[in-house]
Structure 1
Amino acid sequence: MTTSTKPPIWFWIISVIGLIWNGMGVMNYLQQAYRTEGFLEQVTPEQLAILDARPAWATALFAIAVFTGVLGCILLIFRKKFASPLLMISLLGAIITQIWWFTTDGPSISEESGGTIIPILVIVFALLLVWMARKGVSKSWLT
């Protein structure tokens, strides 16, 4: 039987920021999926054409990445070690989705809205969350 130890304050801060970050990803996904008025006002016709041409697998991986990211961060907050595999799935979905984005004209036509920076931040933050979950398991912060 393992005993749980209390995580440091930075663990909680990153967990909550991760939840907010992935929550924004869910909002972005839902806005794209339902073509909300706010979303359509934010994208150019060129960006919309790229998104319309996106293969179904890329859309599915985007959804998997953000929804497992939210669930993984919730489990981090509740100190559950199942957060680790969920965040790994989120990372893999994010990496593959961002590879697809970089192989399109996406970054060049969306430079004013973080065309290169945001996709890189997505991967870096997903990596950070996976690292933190694994550290949480190894330090017995997560049970």
Structure 2
Amino acid sequence: MAYGAQKPPAWYYIVAVLLTVWDAIGCYFCYMQFKLGAEAMGPATAYDRALYASMPGWYNVCYALAVGGATLGGICLLVRSAWAKPVFLVSLVAIVVQFGYLFATTDIIAHKGFAMVVPFPAFIVAVAVFALWFAGFAKRKGWIT
């Protein structure tokens, strides 16, 4: 366990716990998608089933890397390890690849509509960018080493 030279404020731990819980929830949904496929988010349409079936195998690996990496990054924050930043970076890259592939190579936006498809992935990217920034901020403050 690594400890920084500076003791972080209480709110640091609140943020670290919230990020870790958020990412652990992502791991749960990843597991459910592996287990249930297109039905993971409830009853799937024929379009959803065909879309999921058309995804390459690496897409699920990318999903697991995104949420697993982010969860590990949150744990790194909790134990005050500077590994948080590179792990969050790997997670963010996996998220961008995952959603970039989905939006660039499928007709999901045309089929379901921008407002139905894009906001939640955009929120996920925003949280990942925040986590990466927060790890860098914590490193600069000496809270993680």
Tell me the TM-score normalised to structure 2 length.
Answer: 0.85
- Between 1:2-11 and 1:87-96, the stretch displaced more is 2-11
Matches within 5 A, 1:110-125: 110=112, 114-125=116-127
Give the % identical residues. Answer: 25
Quote the Cα distance in structure 2 between the aligned partners of 1:43 and 1:23.
Answer: 24
| AA matched with 1:86 | V
Separation in 2, partners of 1:3, 1:119: 33
Q: How does 1:37-48 map to 2 (within 5 A)?
A: 39=40, 41-48=42-49
More off after superposition, 22-31 vs 113-122:
113-122
State the one-letter code of the partner of 1:134.
G
Q: What is aligned with 1:126?
A: 128
Structure 2 unaligned segments of length 5 or more: list them: none
What's the offset of the Cα at 1:13?
2.3
Q: Which residue of 1 aligns with 2:85?
A: 84
Please report the RMSD computed on the Cα atoms of aligned residues, expressed in angstroms: 2.4
Contact 2:38–2:52 under 8 Å retained in 1: no
State the AA in 2 paired with 1:4: A
**Partner in structure 1 of residue 141 of structure 2:** 139
| Structure 1 gaps, min length 5 | none
CA distance in 2, matches of 1:38, 1:11: 37
**In 2, distance between residues paired with 1:122 and 1:73?**
15
Shift of 1:8: 2.9
Q: TM-score, normalised on structure 1?
A: 0.86
- The 1:99/1:80 distance shift into structure 2, 3 A limit, reads same
Cα deviation, residue 42, structure 1: 4.0
d(CA) in 2 for partners of 1:118, 1:37: 17
Paired with 1:26 and 1:80, the residues of 2 have a C-alpha distance of: 21
Maintained 8 Å contact 1:101/1:107 = no
Aligned length: 142
Please identify runs of 4+ aligned residues in structure 1 that moved more than 6 A: none
